[in-house]
A and B are shown apart, each in its own frame.
Chain A
Amino acid sequence: MRDAGSFEALLAGLPARRTRRRLVRCVPHLDFVTGDPPRFLYTSGRPNRCNPRGVDCLYFSEDERTADAEFRRQWRGTNAETQPKLTFFARVDLRRIIDLETEQVIHALGLTHDDLFGPWRLSLQLTPLQQLGLAISRQRSVAAVRFPSAALGASARKGWNLAIFPLSIESPNRVEILGKSGDPLEMLPRA
């Protein structure tokens, strides 16, 4: 049974690792920069691949190529696909993340290729990854899930995304949106 309860029980025993790196997200250019002011760490509780509705989560890609692929996938077939976009960067230091590149983790969670890459938006039930996100949101040890980019799922080179759970970010974990000269524009945990 792959529900949040069973994942919660598994979480403590799963191998977790630290990640310290730069992350990337691309958004349509719009007038984000002149907004009043942009809130890059905004979470709405909208469902996504690794979180059910009501669970706040931030999504970033590990590199610009993956972020660009995610952007293009969203806008494919429209005139916005090739319009100017805004790329912004985050710097994260997260002590314990669940890495879905690790075979042992995939095996322990019983995740399939379809769980990782399949469509989820119209699913009537929570998907296994959303159940995992729900389990993570109920604890404070694991702060994020690293999962493969579905936008690059069919490509020879894989790309990776990170789903970060803001309510699980406690010091010394850190997420910073980088502004001019690398200074943080926004950060988690909030001071």
Chain B
Amino acid sequence: MTTATMAYPKILLTGPAQRSSVPHWMRRFSPRVVATENVRSLSRLPELTVVRAEAPAAILALQPFLKSLATRIRQTPRPAKILFVFDAIDSVVDPAKLLEVLTFFDRPADIDFVRLPGDVHFRLDEAVAKIWAEQEAERDPDTDPLSRIKSVIAATADLRMASGRLSAQRVARAFGLSLAELASLLGRSRQAVSKTGDAESLQPALAPFERIARLGAALSRSSFLRWLRMPNEQLEGRSPLEAIRDGGVTEIADLAEDMLTGNAT
């Protein structure tokens, strides 16, 4: 990813402590300044909304404003974040007050707090970087939402060595295959695979097996092994393992992902 040509996201500056002039720490972003009472006239929020207030209590005193913000961020496609900047907060922050603010929002992970002068520059840069990352992920066709599901990650964790690489021995065991048979499916000799089962050169060939093994997130081991070997109407009556033996490992990995993502077929 390159950020050299990435534009700053659109930023809205609002809040009870916000005057008409843009504070020095926001000038490089050229934000649009909107008075709190005018937020309700917006249909959506931009990627980043910065809300200035004296303290959490000052925000909580403006419940209609908070509700307007919450409604609008809900209507805004991601990435969309809100950064609350507090001007004169006490040294001790009552987390219950922050929680009270967060409860207005459906996506608390998109809400952040910072106090002045503190590290406001850094927190703004962090918010911008996260927005860029989300935008980039949106564009990246290889981004794989299943890889963010904990149970899916757990289902294939034991296929990897401490090095993080997939192990042919472990894949063979997970699929109920002998190492010789897996080696043959990978187009390698048994000796080569058994000597360096997690070789870098084997990783691309092992990757579709990992995609298939993700079914372990929804299937017990015995059920997974049974599924691999039972006739499947979508495979013209062949079993997934037969299709893999016929060179269709990618097609079976596609099938597994359709099962996990619920695609009608």
Contact = CB atoms under 8 A, between A and B. Distances in A.
- A and B are interacting partners: yes
Interface of A: 25-28, 30-32, 34-39, 42, 44-49, 56, 59-61, 66-67, 70-71, 73-80, 83, 119, 121-122, 149-151, 161, 179-180, 183-184, 186-187, 190-191
Contacts of A49: 264-265
Given A36-B148, A44-B141, A183 B75 contact: yes
**Chain A contact residues: helix, strand, loop or mixed:** loop
B143 to A, nearest CB: 8
30 contacts: A25-B262, A27-B262, A28-B218, A28-B260, A30-B149, A30-B151, A30-B218, A35-B149, A35-B150, A36-B148, A37-B78, A37-B109, A39-B145, A42-B145, A46-B258, A49-B265, A60-B264, A67-B264, A70-B262, A70-B264, A73-B233, A78-B218, A79-B219, A80-B218, A121-B235, A121-B251, A149-B264, A151-B265, A186-B77, A191-B76
Contact of A77 (B78, B226, B257): B226
Contact of B264 (A34, A161, A191): A161
A183 B74 contact: yes
B37 interface: no
Given A44-B141, A80-B223, A184 B75 contact: yes
A37 B80 CA distance: 13
A49 B262 CA distance: 14
B107 A187 contact: no
B152 interface: yes
Contacts of A35: 145, 148-150
B89 interface: no
Contacts of B265: 48-49, 59, 70, 73-74, 150-151
Contact of B259 (A60, A74, A77, A187): A74
B258 A74 contact: yes
B149 A71 contact: no
Nearest to A181: B74
Contacts of A122: 235-236, 238, 243, 246, 248, 251
B234 A121 contact: yes
Nearest to B155: A30
Interface in B70-97: 74-78
A89 to B, nearest CB: 12
